[in-house]
Amino acid sequence: MHPTIAPLRDEGAGGGVAPPVDDRTWTPSSWRARPAWQQPTWPDGDALAATSGELSALPPLVFAGEARALRSQLAAVGRGEAFLLQGGDCAETFAAFGADAIRDKLKVLLQMAVALTYGAQLPVVKVGRIAGQFAKPRSGDTETRDGVELPVYRGDAVNALEFSEEARTPDPHRLVQVYHQAAATLNLLRAFTRGGFADLERVQQWNQQFVAESPQGRRYEQLAEEITRALAFLKACGVDVENDPTFHTVDFWTSHEALLLEYEEALTRRDSLTGQWYDCSAHMLWIGERTRQLDGAHVEFLSGVGNPIGVKLGPKSTVDEVEELAARLNPEGELGRLTLISRMGAQHAGDRLPELVRAVRDRGLPVVWSCDPMHGNTFTSDNGFKTRHFEDVLTETRTFFAVHAEEGTVPGGIHVELTGEDVTECLGGAQEIVDGQLGTRYESACDPRLNNRQALEMAFQVAELLRTDESG
Ligand SMILES: O=C[C@H](O)[C@H](O)COP(=O)(O)O
Ligand SMILES: C=C(OP(=O)(O)O)C(=O)O
Ligand SMILES: [Mn+2]
């Protein structure tokens, strides 16, 4: 078992001098000798160990070859030849599981990808926060309501959102349910993306009714018509559109924060082709802002798997930390292996990001830079909802592009929390959602997500930023 952990507060992983990189042999369980932050206090260690054993015997969810294919697509992102779109729920839940929700999440990501591809004339690498995004780091260990203090909700992988002692007690059996929901979700995603749903000839059908009636929806409608005409044009020119899979299938990848290392370890398997270890719970894994301690368990674990990985960087990240993270997580210096996801907040991005981008550039560290404009912009509204303002999200995104333009580096992608539903969780956007409307449809189990219209609006804005970046 790993050591007992002091929870880290919201201020990020913090600084500190990096201890020397040791040369111990990595194994899927070598993280257990390191401190792991943000872990639940599982009441029954034996039950947790039994669950790990059960998961180890289950089939992998993704294959090593797929993770390698994503790595090479991310290398193209790093060279500025493609753009990364990573998005989905803050926290997937057992309750919101269903074919319609999966389809609608895929729809909004496909719509965004079309807006970006068409607008910026760049291929878009599509990565969902899906099929495994069930564990949450939190600012505090407990939550108090009316004088009653209970363990905080840490995601459906750990406990339930309901505020009762029973619901909030961590239960490792939930990890098995996570696995099965992830498997079913992936299965449907594979069917949708390979079986005709993601066919470019169906581009108009991804616009949901409630979106179609909005300004973004109408803009999308026009775009879809142009694409349909372009396909007809290609056919008329003799291009075999019918039989070319490029037009009928898409690559869609899965990702989540690798927070619960018992789960990740159990799904880590040796690739028979290369002999290398891969975390087969998802194609891409990332380390959160609160668990990126250089000598911590999360960095240790992900340093040894062959998947493409991400690290979130908050406003307190230092140049030394970023360099050391790159040294540990990408010692071979392979482009596509490491994505740095900055989440500084609209107020801090302009001050904090340039120094990091410059250092990475000057040291020739091969990374993909992506922008998470959500997590540095969270606040509680006067009427008590955890929310974000769409304008702040856009401001941080614009700053991200401006910094990269200034430094001559590649703004590789965006990482957003979104849903295909018509929720009211983030303020602003063309619908001008205000405080008083947040309660109308606030359904997130953790952080506020962009709704379908806000997400589409974001994609159009980013496409414009990419166009300006190209012409600039
Ligand atoms: O996405 C996760 C949240 O940002 C994280 O859980 C922190 O949220 P909290 O401050 O409500 O705990
Ligand atoms: C917790 C998250 O992000 P961060 O680690 O950047 O706070 C998240 O992506 O949901
Ligand atoms: Mn979140």
Q: Is 2 part of a structural domain of the chain? A: no
Which two structure tokens, joined as six digits, stand for 324?
């050391």
Instruction: Give the position, in ligand 1's atom list, of the atom nearest the Cα of 152.
Output: 12
- The rounded Å distance from CA 20 to ligand 1 centre is 31
**Ligand 1 binding site (Cβ under 6 Å of any ligand atom):** 10, 90, 136-139, 375, 446-447
Comparing CA positions, the residue from 349, 264, 256 lying closest to residue 32 is: 264
Which two structure tokens, joined as six digits, stand for 419?
């849903």
Question: φ and ψ at 447, to 5 degrees?
Answer: -95, 155
- The rounded Å distance from CA 378 to ligand 1 centre is 9
State which of 312, 444, 446 you would mutate to test the pocket of ligand 1, scoring each by most atoms of that ligand within 8 A of its C-beta.
Answer: 446
CA distance 298 to 206: 37
The C-alpha angle with vertex 416 and arms to 320 and 268, in degrees rounded to 5, equals 70
Q: Is 406 part of a structural domain of the chain? A: yes
Which two structure tokens, joined as six digits, stand for 226?
């142009």
Comparing CA positions, the residue from 455, 390, 387, 434 lying closest to residue 85 is: 455
- The rounded Å distance from CA 172 to ligand 1 centre is 21
Q: Is 227 part of a structural domain of the chain? A: no
- Of all protein residues, the one whose alpha carbon is nearest to atom 8 of ligand 2 is 90
Q: Is 154 part of a structural domain of the chain? A: yes
Instruction: Give the position, in ligand 1's atom list, of the atom nearest the Cα of 138.
Output: 12
Q: Is 237 part of a structural domain of the chain? A: no
- The rounded Å distance from CA 68 to ligand 2 centre is 24
DSSP code per residue over 371-399 = E--STTSEEE-TTS-EEEBHHHHHHHHHH
Q: Is 279 part of a structural domain of the chain? A: yes
DSSP code per residue over 107-119 = HHHHHHHHHHHHH
Nearest-Å Rg of the Cα atoms of the chain is 21
386 is in an annotated binding site: no
| Cα-Cα end-to-end distance for the chain | 53
Tokens 């075999």 locate to: 240
Instruction: Give the position, in ligand 1's atom list, of the atom nearest the Cα of 90.
Output: 1
List the beta bridge partners of residue 253.
127
- The rounded Å distance from CA 288 to ligand 2 centre is 5
129 is in an annotated binding site: yes
Report pLDDT for 208. 86
- The rounded Å distance from CA 249 to ligand 2 centre is 30
316 is in an annotated binding site: no
Distance, C-alpha 63 to centroid of its chain = 19
Instruction: Give the position, in ligand 1's atom list, of the atom nearest the Cα of 139.
Output: 12
**CATH number of the CATH domain containing 160:** 3.20.20.70
- The rounded Å distance from CA 446 to ligand 2 centre is 11
Note the residue count of the chain: 472
- The rounded Å distance from CA 138 to ligand 2 centre is 9
Ligand nearest to the CA of 286: 2
Which two structure tokens, joined as six digits, stand for 410?
């590649």
Q: Which structural domain range is residue 116 located in?
A: 30-198+249-471
CA dihedral 15, 19, 20, 26 (to 10 degrees): -100
- For 1, counting Cβ atoms within 10 Å of its Cβ (0-12 exposed, 13-18 middle, 19+ buried), the class is exposed
Q: Is 4 part of a structural domain of the chain? A: no
24 is in an annotated binding site: no
SS3 percent helix, strand, coil of the chain, rounded to 5, is 40, 15, 45
Which two structure tokens, joined as six digits, stand for 434?
């205000």
Total domains in the chain come to: 1
Tokens 């303020």 locate to: 427
Which distant-in-sequence residues (6+ apart) come within 8 Å of 468 by Cβ?
Answer: 401
Ligand nearest to the CA of 129: 2
What element of type H or E holds 300? helix 297-303
90 is in an annotated binding site: yes
443 is in an annotated binding site: no
CA distance 176 to 166: 19
The tens digit of pLDDT for each residue in 225-264 reads 999 999 999 999 999 999 999 999 999 999 999 999 999 9
Q: Is 13 part of a structural domain of the chain? A: no
The tens digit of pLDDT for each residue in 356-396 reads 999 999 999 999 999 999 999 999 999 999 999 999 999 99
- Of all protein residues, the one whose alpha carbon is nearest to atom 8 of ligand 1 is 138
- The rounded Å distance from CA 119 to ligand 2 centre is 28
CA distance 312 to 340: 6
- For the chain, 472 residues long, give each residue's pLDDT as a single digit of tens: 333 333 333 345 544 333 444 556 999 999 999 999 999 999 999 999 999 999 999 999 999 999 999 999 999 999 999 999 999 999 999 999 999 999 999 999 999 999 999 988 999 999 999 999 999 999 999 999 999 999 999 999 999 999 999 999 999 999 999 999 999 999 999 999 999 999 999 999 998 888 888 999 999 999 999 999 999 999 999 999 999 999 999 999 999 999 999 999 999 999 999 999 999 999 999 999 999 999 999 999 999 999 999 999 999 999 999 999 999 999 999 999 999 999 999 999 999 999 999 999 999 999 999 999 999 999 999 999 999 999 999 999 999 999 999 999 999 999 999 999 999 999 999 899 999 999 999 999 999 999 999 999 999 999 999 998 776 6
Phi-psi region of 275 (alpha: psi -120 to 50; beta: other; left: phi over 0): left
Which two structure tokens, joined as six digits, stand for 428?
């602003």
417 is in an annotated binding site: yes
Ligand nearest to the CA of 343: 2
Ligand nearest to the CA of 133: 2
For the complex shown, is ipTM > 0.90? yes
Instruction: Give the position, in ligand 2's atom list, of the atom nearest the Cα of 91.
Output: 10
**Ligand 2 binding site (Cβ under 6 Å of any ligand atom):** 90, 137, 257, 288-290, 312, 343, 372, 375, 447
What are the residue ranges of helices labelled H in 125-214? 165-168, 173-194, 209-212
Q: What is the DSSP letter of 41?
A: -
Ligand nearest to the CA of 155: 1
